[in-house]
Chain A
Amino acid sequence: MAKMGAGHYRQASVQVVNTEMAPGYYGLPVIHGPHWRWSIVFYFVLGGLAGGSAVLAAVAQLVGGYWARPIVRAGRYLAVLAVLPGPLLLIIDLGRPERFHHMLRVLKLRSPMSLGVWGLIGFTATALLNALQQVAEDGLLGRRNPVAHALRCLPTRLLAATSALPAFFLAGYTGVLLGATAVPLWARNALRLGPLFLCSALSSAAAALSLLIGHRPTARRAQHALERVEQVAVLGELILLETLRRSDTVVTRPLREGREGLAYTGARVGSALALVLHSIAKLLPRSPHVWLRMLGSLAALVSAFLLRAAMIFGGRRSAEDPVATIAITRKDTGSPSTAP
């Protein structure tokens, strides 16, 4: 908005009136934004962490040898621990929490939220089974317990393989869910959000598992594998974060301004830091440089959190911006004429 001083007032032309007019209807939002807040941010982060951990545990189970046992164990436990608060976080977000089970009336293939509910249930079931087997293998149910025996007899590799698909789904569907709305920031990036959330899920899970396992000498190879995965995922995340930010300057404005912008920058810095710290730790002589690596993993975790926060709160800001909505809904003519 141009400020008009006393000097400007005399010269004020009709042009000033026109440029002062906000686009659309008094600058009011064209669409309604979502109400989602912190509980959804935490659900997205934990869902990613759970999915990523289950994927890592499954792969470790399928191709890793004895050295990968710590990953299987920590991955199976973390998957369940991270996913269990999920339903609670989703339910407290509802306007009518006591009606949460209405989600179970239908399965709608074109509604990512409906698919997500069923995916969450499927994932929780497989993750629970995997974790229970781990509990039995760890001898926490007693050695001679028939239930424990039955759990130990379950085909381990099959269990691992069946958990991978819902794990990937849980880690990625949230991006599709955001993309299937009219919110400009999400709608324009619908194809990118799923892959971005997947990368972030895998990197944060690898980071969390690495921190959980610890850098003891017997876990050297496990740490090595986790670090490699974390670096690949973080690299993908970084590329997607950058291309998303540069893709469309009108729509991605919330990612460059204010607190959401700060969070997004934090996510970029965190990912870059994770990549750099792990690389330095590798290149420096006299490995393992435990502190550098732990710092890198911590940065990846913080980045995963900031990314979800920036995306959800940024979407709320984006929905309030009529300029962005008008820009993405004008297809046949060049520039919209906004003055009546």
Chain B
Amino acid sequence: MVRNTSALVGTTQARPGAFGFLTDTTLCIGCKACEVACKQWNQLPMDDFGFTGRSYDNTGDLGATTWRHVAFIERVADREGRRPTRLQPFQSNWLMFSDVCKHCVNAGCLEACPTGAIIRTEFDTVVIQQDICNGCGYCVPACPFGVPALSPLDGKAHKCTLCYDRLKDGLEPACSKACPTDAIQFGPVHALLDRAKVRVAELRDQGVDAQLYGDLALGGTGGIGGLNALFILTAPPEVYNLPAQPELPQRRVLPAFLTTALAALALGLATLLTFWRTEKEGAHG
């Protein structure tokens, strides 16, 4: 994994006092306790009861009623197309990855929301206020990570709240509480960041190609300013269906309005000239 942005590795613009997750995929055993604990605490209805037929992952994706999702990635062949003949130091030949809302430092969903339903809380997490959301659906494609979704049940957008109600009462989120291997850790983002860096270094010493996802070099790029929900990965982000260097969509608002204004100016002038010419022609003929 070549990264030419080494100065940005391990740094984010997380505000002091921000809380978040560190999801260490090397510790995950794919038990889905987080998925279940999240459903239970947040009283989310069950998803389609069926088999995807792909892997042990029958959840598939984050959605309106799934705020933690454990992906099961089978290492069938490596980049050169060779099948692995030896077990990896971790997780045999499976990668398990518990996905969640990234609670971006600058969040695309939050900036897009036209009702102000999406807010940044005192814990620096990103929460959709259910009494405000009117289901316009703009936050859904505005999230670079495919997190929020509209629910057909109530027509509103839903996603992980980082258990705002539990944080209010001084409890840690349900998923990290339930995780039996501490693959999901909860705490102040700056502490998690330090812990993540130590862990990545440790893994590298053991010969694992580990990297942090969620800093300014990987995952928290393009104006996002880092993720308050960090991950430790052992393969390129795309393998986990994560974008490597996403961009904050709202960075394009001003430039796009500028080109639109230029076009408006050009078209307005052309129209003016046309009418003026037609006016002149009439005066002469």
Residues of A within 8 A of B (CB): 13-15, 17-19, 21, 23-26, 28-36, 55-56, 59-60, 62-65, 67-68, 93-97, 99-100, 102-103, 105-106, 108, 110-114, 116-117, 164, 168, 171-173, 175-177, 179-183, 187, 190-195, 198-199, 202, 221, 224-225, 228-229, 232-233, 236, 315, 319, 322, 325-326, 329-333, 336-340
Closest B residue to A172 using CB positions: B260
A180 and B250 contact, Cβ closer than 8 Å, known pairs A103-B134, A111-B114, A332-B5: yes
Is B112 within 8 A of A331, CB to CB?
no
- Roughly how many angstroms separate A61 CA and B236 CA in the complex, as a whole number? 60
Known: A59-B271, A326-B244. 13 other contacts (CB 8 A): A17-B77, A19-B81, A68-B278, A94-B135, A102-B117, A108-B111, A111-B250, A168-B268, A173-B257, A181-B112, A331-B245, A332-B244, A338-B238
Residues of B within 8 A of A99 (CB): 115, 132-135
- Roughly how many angstroms separate A38 CA and B258 CA in the complex, as a whole number? 28
Within 8 A of A (CB), among B260-285: 260-264, 266-268, 270-272, 274-279, 281-282
Closest A residue to B78 using CB positions: A339
- Roughly how many angstroms separate A195 CA and B260 CA in the complex, as a whole number? 5
Query: Contacting A182 at CB < 8 Å: which of B117, B136, B141, B221?
Result: B141
Is A221 within 8 A of B278, CB to CB?
yes
Q: Nearest-CB distance from A85 to chain B (Å)?
A: 18
Query: Contacting A198 at CB < 8 Å: which of B76, B243, B267?
Result: B267
Closest B residue to A100 using CB positions: B134
A175 and B276 contact, Cβ closer than 8 Å, known pairs A18-B77, A25-B239: no
Task: Indicate if B128 sits at the interface (CB-CB under 8 A).
Answer: no
Is A35 within 8 A of B241, CB to CB?
no
* Contact mask for chain B residues 68-90; partner A; CB cutoff 8 A; 1 contact, 0 none: 00010111111101110000000
- Roughly how many angstroms separate A62 CA and B274 CA in the complex, as a whole number? 12
Task: Indicate if B137 sits at the interface (CB-CB under 8 A).
Answer: yes
Is B259 within 8 A of A164, CB to CB?
no
Q: Nearest-CB distance from A286 to chain B (Å)?
A: 18
Closest B residue to A179 using CB positions: B256
